[in-house]
A and B are shown apart, each in its own frame.
Chain A
Amino acid sequence: MAGLSSSSSGGGGGGGWSLGRCSHAVVRALPESLRQHALRIEKGQEVDFARAEREHQLYVAVLKSKLGLQVLELPADESLPDCVFVEDVAVVCEETALITRPGAPSRRKEVDAMKKALESLNLNIIEMTDENATLDGGDVLFTGREFFVGLSKRTNQRGAEILADTFKDYAVSTVPVYDSLHLKSFCSMAGPNLIAIGSTEAAQKTLKTMQQMSDHRYDKLTVPDDAAANCIYLNIPGKGHVLLHRAPEEYPESAKVFEKLKDHMLIPITNTEMEKVDGLLTCRSVLINKTSEL
């Protein structure tokens, strides 16, 4: 049982080690409506839907084939143009999943499919029913030891409180998010105790706040591009540290930084089209680690 205890304990807070442990992933196909109706901060180039689909398929393939995760693929819903960004609708930590209440009203229905999927995985489901609460999963950074919740346009204090109530084992600290859509628009975990952070002033400022708020000490990996700071760290048995990061074609300077991570298995992933609608790497999946089958 020591095994179990250690594993669950790792999840319980020693997270430093369990961070990135992952057995399942939930993804969702992208609807065509994404091209026209997906929310975006600012008008920009039009999304090449076909290319976006290819990128997404590649993304899923990496998780499924390359990393061996069990991937649940949810069908797209044309009425939900942003439904591909599943990260925002659920926060899963260990055996508990918090179904969020996205800050954008148009996305509130995305949670239904996610809830069913997570239920099928036998997770403890907590729903955020408070009408005053909003929370986007993109504002939730789980470091393995604690949560940081970005207070942004999409996420408010109440939403953070509910998150804190849901994951009582962990400290939940709130940090302000200034110019970005989400907290994770400029940062993410790149390894145990390693925070990848963009180099903009806002990003650095936020990082400092996080450092001050934490009892733990995190290393930081500063990358030139904020968007590139959003990467996916996984710790896959047999493969060790795995890092999905933005391709050199997109962010060459940032890619160089990632390439300095010698211990990581680096997997560049192209995300050009999704980024046009503010979608980054972490946005498109919910990673779940099922330590025991119930």
Chain B
Amino acid sequence: MTTEVGPETEVKKESEQLGADAVNEKREEATESQENQKSEKTLSEEAQSTPSPELATQSSPSSQKKEKDPPEGKGISRFIPPWLKKQKSYSLVEPKDEAKKKPVEERQAAEERESQLPEDIAQPKGNLEEATIESQQETKKNDKEEEKHSVSSADTQPAKEDNKESEAEKVANEQEEQQKVEEKRETKEVQTAEIKLEKAPQKALKKIKTVPCKVMLLDGTEYSCDLEKRAKGQVLFDKVCEQLNLLEKDYFGLLFQDNSDQKNWLDSSKEIKRQIRSLPWLFTFNVKFYPPDPSQLTEDITRYFLCLQLRQDIASGRLPCSFVTHALLGSYTLQAELGDYDSEEHNNHYISEFQFAPNQTKEMEDKVVELHKTHRSLTPAQADSHFLENAKRLSMYGVDLHHAKDSEGVDIMLGVCANGLLIYKDRLRINRFAWAKILKISYKRSNFYIKVRPAELEQFESTIGFKLPNHRAAKRLWKVCVEHHTFYRLVSPEQPPKAKFLTLGSKFRYSGRTQAQTQQASNLIDRPAPYFERTSSKRVSRSLDGAPVGITDQSLLRDFSAATVGPAGDIVFAGEAVGQTKLKNGEGRDVNGSPTKIPQLELTQDEKSLHMYPPSPRLHCVSSCPTNLPTVPEMDMLLDISEEDLFWEYVHSPSDCWECSPMRVIPTHSGNEVTLPNNILEPMRLPVSHHSSAIEGKPHKTVDYKDTEFSFSLSFSKLFAFNFLSLLDREGYISFPSLPKVCISYLPPGLQHYVPITSPSFIPSFLLLFVLLLSAFQSVPFSLTFSLPLALSLCYLEPKATSLSASYDNDLNDKAEEEEVETGKEETQQQDLDKTQDNLLKHQASISELKRNFMESTPEPRPNEWEKRRITPLSLQTQGSSHETLNIVEEKQQAEVGIEETVVIDEINRGKMQAVTGAGETRKVEHLSKKDSSSLSSDSSSSSSSSSESEDEVVGEYQPHHRAAEDIIREEQEENEDAKRKEECATKVIQSVETVQEGSKVTVEHTQVTAKALAQENAVAIKTGEKNVMEEGKQDLRAEDEEEQLKINGDGSHVDIDVVPQIICCSEPPVVKTEMVTISDATQRTEISTKEVPIVQTETKTITYESPQFDGSSGGDAGVLLSAQTITSESVSTTTTTHITKTVKGGVSETRIEKRIVITGDADIDHDQALAQAIKEAKEQHPDMSVTRVVVHKETELAEEGEE
């Protein structure tokens, strides 16, 4: 930055009478920093002695000067003519930004100058300056980057900014920038807002596509602005609130109308474009959460907007009132907008301009006038307060009505309000479910379900179903419920506890602040009552004490908004959420278990509410209301559906999550794949210092990697994105307790904050990985590069990952046990899932829908790519296009997305070990369980079937033709898989016994594979060689394993699942030809994606561990068999751990095999496929066994990383 800005700064400074010295200093510093890149130490010293460029800026005279400026700034703002208005945001902001951002400073300076100059002149200049700055920035981008990195180690924050700027300049990365900006908000309160505002416009000028956007405000005026095409809802919302000078904005939201004229709330955490799709960018600013007690609002201006909303509601009839109330409210409206009644000024017609009621009569107007006369001397604010005091008591105040039918087809209305769910028939309330009584909210297709706490004397919960007009309506209602529940009833937004794992159903959650939080924040508002003009009145608003209010100090406002009120808060919460999620991992696994869910719900209930509605009798719908909603008979069904329930699913749908991430992640990394090869090479060149270089752009790469890897497990990527986001958002939220600062410094500056290196095992794992890689590849840089990301990912996965658990000897046992338990819980449900074939279909449909969505939402080029892929064989598709696939996956609902762990448990009445051994070869299937078949048939959905339900919901009704495409793909995949399978079977020969320690080794292999995969992705050319290496490494391992086997034998007798002797079978890796489709980033994607389809060889290696007693086991002694299978393809590695428990009962031996399959994907992988394959394998391997249970765990990895 410094460098770039330097010249301009000089000029401006001169003009500003700033010391040229300062500029020089800056330059010098910059230069130095560049020079010093090599040694971090030096840099850090520099940074300290000579504050980094930015720091220098701050300290420099210019900054001081600017501090003086504020007063000027105000003056300026007045002058600031139309041209500045566009950038209004910064004009306001600038005063504060100056210190930190040079661009800002420059602008300000310009402004200042301009202020002195006539407006006319000023305008052009300003533009020119901006343009110049921008261009400079671009040209010097490279320089900057260098600086950044060097500086970054020393001073984190400045570094970040630099990163931002550089990134920002990359067109594709705009979004990221925004995100970063958001992140910064938290840390840098003032700057954030400013930066964001500034940059958005700037870029808009240059490269970014902007979309004209209109928002209808409550006073009937229209606010227009240009938004970056990929802007999130929050951006627009913040703009609007800023325009309105509204601080207590959590009660408000933006509405858009969908094709069916239904109004939907714009999700501020998602890209606008994805929500409105092809609809025009027209929004309505509305009250979203009606404060139950408006008098507790802090500011009059907030009350004013609430009044405007209510007047609309009343006039439109949405908020019914009696005649008397209409008149009374109307009279307060007059008082607020016209002031005291003036018989001369207010003739009989003045009132006709107002609409007080849907059907306004002369009689009513007379009454209004009459009452108006009685309000003399009320200030507008007081009148508004009276208005609200009366309005809030209306029974329909704050009730969001939705049309529905009860189970008998009777038309009813569902009203969502602060306290719960109200059921109306016609105008009569026929039932009511307080939030405290509701255990679960879910929707499936067009059905909406609530699970209600059992009444006093009842033991069972009941589920009540409602039929909504369509799927979208059901989802809309569900979302509204989730939001209201969270806003009014929770202290802080509920986290997506299960977001990490495979989440079934929509993951939607309310991401904003809760009422409690917003009230807290409001208490901190400390600004003079802002001036605002009431619609039709020209009077100055007065605070309640009647004192006229002058123009508000903008700077105060700004600070506040940025610091307290701003989105930052939200972000912070998101961060918390993530943290919680982590903690809840265990719970998260029990996706299906309704029991687990209930607790969560219970959490939501406060004591208060409980008191309020003591175990109230369950609404005897039957008795009280003949028409009401009888409990749904099919409880089982509901349970299945429970996956969809809201609390449980609370986490937003994957697509939603994804949407957040894309902004930052994808855009930034565009062209990742293309770039990667080079990156990979880089580390090699720079031995130790690779950090800095590697780190460059790492943020991007890192993200990419994650995407790719996670893509493997769909949920993965999604989750990742989500977490990543949150991490980003709340900077500083995540600390690196276990990491020495030195280590942190190794991380790319951007990553330092994002990566959750909280795991104590990070360092050990890192070292371990490093050593392993080193031994395998003999390349320090290479191993370093890979080990870091891997270690990070491991740490991230550590808590949950079963597969990874193997890598950690310590954890192995414990984790295995835990998983077992969980599995048990889920078992029942899983079975249910298996039974429902429908689910599968739905699932597919959902997937296709997702894809469709994806296509819709993606830039034009994408669809084409998609088409092409469709045509290409599955294998190619799967491995090739990381981005696209990822997107698709992410859009899919949770379950499908991330299936990281699949546990397949086969239960056999008479399991012969041979069967196990023979695996694929012995295909005399005596027991093919129905479940098996079903699961298999489900193919892709298989284990995810559980999730499928929820997905169904979300996706439900969508496009058949897409589905067809999917099917094709799957079929192809299957074929591929089959081929692989056969090969594998053939190759399985060698058996060896291993100890528990194997786990680590296995892991090692796994890691290697992963690394390799990554490498392959990055550079296709390298693949072959690496593959060889890998194979060698594996063989070595195998040998070791054999040696260890001896030791293990003793243990082998133990039935313990945790510690088990193992026999290892190593198979020769079959080579599969795969085409890799490389897709570049969003930006370049178009060009590259199509062209590059390199052919890659994929190797598959299978290692089977079998217990030494295996053969003898058939004899009937209880034995445990552990087998681990690693199948590696270029982008995917699969680790299968098999626990075999054999019991002999009455001469019949029962063998229970539990397989844990961990799939780690570097590139995108079709989870469904993987799962299907896994099941298929299992089936083939144990033909006489039946699959009784399939558990899918989804895990999210955080930093995977990046190597370049």
| Distance (whole angstroms) from the CB of A15 to the closest CB of chain B | 8
CB pair B390–A12 under 8 Å, yes or no, is: yes
Contact B324 A124 (CB under 8 A): yes
- The residue in chain A whose Cβ has the minimal distance to the Cβ of B430 is A174
Tell whether A217 is near chain B: CB-to-CB under 8 Å: yes
In the complex the two chains form, what is the Cα distance from A73 to B618 in whole Å? 44
Contacts of A1 in B (CB 8 A): 371, 374-376, 378
In chain B, what residue has the closest Cβ to A208?
B617
**B 549-601 contacts with A by CB, 8 A:** none
Chain A residue total in the interface (Cβ 8 A): 42
The one of A4, A160, A169 that contacts B322, using a Cβ cutoff of 8 Å: A169
B437 CB contacts on chain A under 8 angstroms: 212
Most chain B beta-carbon neighbours within 10 Å: one of A9, A165, A172: A9
Contacts A1-B374, A96-B323, A208-B617 given; does A169 touch B394 at CB 8 Å? yes
Find residues 146-163 in chain A having any chain B CB closer than 8 Å to their own CB: 146, 149, 157, 160-161
Knowing A1-B375, A5-B328 are in contact, say whether A217-B612 is a contact too (CB < 8 A).
yes
Which residue in A94, A161, A209, A212 is a CB contact (below 8 Å) of B427? A161
**Given that A4-B374, A209-B617, A212-B613 are known contacts, is A169 also in contact with B386, CB under 8 Å in the complex?**
no
Instruction: Find chain A residues with CB under 8 A from B990 CB.
Output: none
Complex interface: chain B residues within 8 A of A12 (CB): 324-325, 328, 390, 393-394
The 4 closest A-B pairs by CB, nearest first: A13-B393, A171-B395, A164-B427, A208-B617
Is residue B321 contacting chain A, with contact meaning CB distance below 8 A?
A: yes
A168 in contact with B428 given A5-B375, A211-B616 (CB within 8 Å): no
How far, in angstroms, from A211 to B617 measured CA to CA in the complex? Answer: 9
Task: Give the docked Cα–Cα distance between A170 and B399 (Å).
Answer: 13
Q: Which residues of B contact A214 (CB under 8 A)?
A: 432
Nearest chain A CB to B370's CB is how many angstroms away? 9
Q: In the docked arrangement, what's the CA distance between A205 and B437, Å?
A: 18
Q: Decide if A161 touches B322 in the complex (CB within 8 Å).
A: no
Within 8 A of A (CB), among B310-365: 320-325, 328, 332
Using Cβ atoms and an 8 Å threshold, which residues of chain B touch A5?
Answer: 328, 332, 375, 386, 389-390
Write the nearest CB–CB distance from A178 to chain B, whole angstroms.
8
Within A1-36, the residues touching B (CB, 8 Å) are: 1-2, 4-5, 8-9, 11-14
Contact B617 A212 (CB under 8 A): yes
Chain B: interface residue total (CB-CB under 8 A): 43
Q: Which residues of B contact A14 (CB under 8 A)?
A: 389, 393
Cβ of A167 under 8 Å from chain B: yes
Task: Assess whether A172 is in contact with B428, with CB atoms less than 8 Å apart.
Answer: yes
Per-position binary interface string of chain B over residues 601-627, scored 1 when its CB falls under 8 Å from any chain A CB and 0 otherwise: 000000000001100111110011100
Does A248 reach chain B (CB closer than 8 Å)? no
Which residue from chain B places its CB closest to the CB of A95 in the assembled complex?
A: B324
Asked whether A9 lies within 8 Å of B395 as measured between CB atoms, the reply is: no
List B contacts of A71 (CB < 8 A): none
Interface presence of A173 (CB below 8 A): yes
List of A residues within 8 angstroms of B625 by Cβ: 174, 176
Docked Cα-Cα span, A9 to B374, in Å, equals 14
Closest CB in chain B relative to A149 CB, distance in Å? 8
B426 an interface residue at 8 Å Cβ cutoff? yes
List of A residues within 8 angstroms of B612 by Cβ: 217
A272 to B322, CA, bound (A): 39
Question: Are A168 and B619 touching (Cβ within 8 A)?
Answer: no
The digit string for B424-439, where 1 denotes a CB below 8 A from any CB of A, is 0111111110100100
Is B328's CB under 8 angstroms from A212's CB?
no
Residues of B within 8 A of A168 (CB): 320-322, 325, 394-395, 427
List chain A residues, Cβ under 8 A from B417. Answer: 215
Q: Which of A263-278 contact B (CB under 8 A)?
A: none
Chain A residue numbers with a CB within 8 Å of B389 are 5, 9, 14
Contacts known (A8-B328, A12-B328, A174-B625); A208 close to B428, Cβ less than 8 A: no
CA distance A95 to B326 in the complex (A): 13
List B contacts of A124 (CB < 8 A): 323-324
Asked whether any CB of chain B lies closer than 8 Å to the CB of A213, the reply is yes
Q: Mark A114-153, 1 if CB is under 8 A from B, else 0.
A: 0000000000100000000000000000000110010000
CA distance A167 to B325 in the complex (A): 10
- In the assembled complex, which residues on chain A have CB atoms less than 8 Å from the CB atom of B323? 96, 124
Q: Which among B374, B427, B623 is the interface contact of A165 at CB below 8 angstroms?
A: B427
Contact of A146 among B320, B395, B624 (CB under 8 A): B395
Interface residues of B in 608-657 (CB under 8 A from A): 612-613, 616-620, 623-625
Are B390 and A213 touching (Cβ within 8 A)? Answer: no
Docked pose: A173 CA to B396 CA in angstroms: 13
**Complex formed: what's the CA distance from A184 to B453 in Å?**
30
Residues of chain B within 8 A (CB-CB) of A211 are 613, 616
Contact B428 A174 (CB under 8 A): yes
Query: Smallest CB-CB separation from A148: which chain B residue?
Result: B429
Complex CA–CA separation, A208 to B426 (angstroms): 23
* B419 part of interface (Cβ distance < 8 Å): yes
* Most chain A CB within a 10 A radius of its CB, from B324, B431, B613: B324
Counting chain A CB atoms within 10 Å of each CB, which of B320, B624, B625 scores highest?
B624
Complex alpha-carbon distance, A192 and B211, angstroms? 56
| 6 other A-B residue contacts (CB within 8 Å) besides A124-B323, A176-B625, A209-B617 | A5-B386, A9-B386, A160-B428, A168-B322, A174-B430, A208-B616
In the assembled complex, the Cα of A165 lies from the Cα of B424 at a distance in Å of 13
Residues of chain A contacted by B426 (CB below 8 angstroms): 157, 161, 164
A175 lies within 8 A of chain B by Cβ:
yes
Query: Among the interface residues B321, B417, B426, B612, which one has the most CB atoms of the partner chain A within 10 A?
Result: B426
Q: With A5-B328, A9-B386, A12-B393 in contact, do A172 and B427 touch (Cβ < 8 Å)?
A: yes
B 762-777 binary contact with A (CB < 8 Å = 1; else 0): 0000000000000000
In Å, the complex CA distance between A211 and B623 comes to 15
Closest to B419 in A: A215
Contacting pair A161 B620 (CB below 8 A) = no
Q: Nearest chain A CB to B416's CB is how many angstroms away?
A: 13
**Quick check: A9 and B328 within 8 Å, CB to CB?**
yes
A167 touches B378 (CB 8 A): no
Check A175/B395 contact, CB under 8 A, given A169-B321, A217-B612. Answer: no
Question: 26 A–B contact pairs at CB < 8 A?
Answer: A1-B375, A5-B386, A12-B324, A13-B393, A13-B395, A157-B428, A161-B426, A167-B322, A168-B320, A168-B395, A169-B325, A171-B395, A172-B395, A172-B428, A173-B430, A174-B428, A174-B430, A176-B624, A176-B625, A208-B616, A212-B431, A212-B613, A212-B616, A212-B619, A215-B417, A215-B419
> Across the two chains, which residue of chain A brings its CB closest to B327?
A8
A9: chain B residues within 8 A (beta carbon): 328, 386, 389-390, 393
Most buried by B among A149, A164, A173, A214: A173
Q: Which residues of B contact A212 (CB under 8 A)?
A: 431-432, 434, 437, 613, 616-619
- Report yes or no: B428 in contact with A8, Cβ–Cβ below 8 A: no
Which of B967-1026 touch A at CB < 8 Å? none
**Chain B: CB-nearest residue to A291:** B324
Complexed CA–CA distance, A94 and B325 (Å):
11
Task: Report which of A96, A146, A213, A217 forms a contact with B324, defined as CB distance below 8 A.
Answer: A96
Question: Given contacts A96-B323, A175-B624, is CB(A13)–CB(B390) below 8 Å?
Answer: yes
Residues of chain A lying within 8 A (CB to CB) of residue B371: 1, 4
Task: State A5–B382 Cα separation when bound (angstroms).
Answer: 11
Q: Which residues of B contact A166 (CB under 8 A)?
A: 322
Chain A residues contacting B620 (CB-CB under 8 Å) are 205, 209
Assess the A161–B428 pair: CB atoms within 8 A. Answer: yes
Smallest Cβ-Cβ distance to A145: which chain B residue: B393
Among B396, B428, B617, chain A packs the most CB atoms within 10 A around the CB of B428
A2 to B328, CA, bound (A): 12
CB distance from B324 to the nearest CB of A (A): 5
Cβ distance A199 to chain B, nearest Cβ, rounded Å? 16
What's the Cα separation between A171 and B371 when bound, in Å? 25
